[in-house]
Copies of this chain bind each other. A is one copy, B any other.
Amino acid sequence: VKRNSQARGAARELVESLRDERADVIFGIGDLCEEFRVSPRTLRFYETKGLLSPRRINGLRVYTRRDRARLALILRAKAIGSKLSEINHYLDLYGSHGEGRSQQLRYVIERTDVEIGKLERKRANIEKSLQELRMINQSSRRLLEERRQ
């Protein structure tokens, strides 16, 4: 069973007590936020979008290992440029078939291809702008030098 350095608040305590009772490792919202560097707002938002559905104990959100793994998938999919609505679809085919893994791989390849293309185009535009700005900068410096004479 995982054990963190500091207890932090009510949810944490609740979580700790449940750890003693159950074999399942359980997380409070703050735990996942800290681990994945996201805000509580983000997790609640994902919940309204049906991406996560943690149990409630006394009104507090309680996440299991599987919720945590799901969140990891969500964030990875987001990092490669997926919309949340797409991610829902993606997670569905993850749970369904034994073929799911190969489908996942194809999905990742497709998404990264698209994002790589986007970034390359962006970089090309940035380089154009850099050249122009440098020209403006240098000619302005030259003009200012001439003025001083």
Contacts and interface: CB of A to CB of B under 8 A. Distances in A.
A114 B145 CA distance: 20
A18 interface: no
The SS class assigned to the A binding surface is helix
B144 A80 contact: no
Given A80-B125, A80-B133, A119-B130, 18 more contacts: A77-B129, A79-B121, A79-B122, A80-B126, A80-B129, A81-B122, A94-B136, A97-B136, A97-B139, A102-B144, A105-B140, A108-B137, A108-B140, A112-B133, A112-B134, A113-B137, A116-B137, A119-B126
10 contacts: A76-B128, A80-B129, A80-B136, A94-B136, A97-B140, A105-B140, A109-B137, A112-B134, A112-B137, A119-B129
Contact of A136 (B93, B121, B140, B147): B93
A66 interface: no
A2 to B, nearest CB: 24
For this chain, the copies found in one complex come to 2
Of the four ranges (under 10, 10 to 19, 20 to 34, 35 or more), the interface on chain A belongs to 35 or more
Interface string A25-52: 0000000000000000000000000000
A143 interface: yes
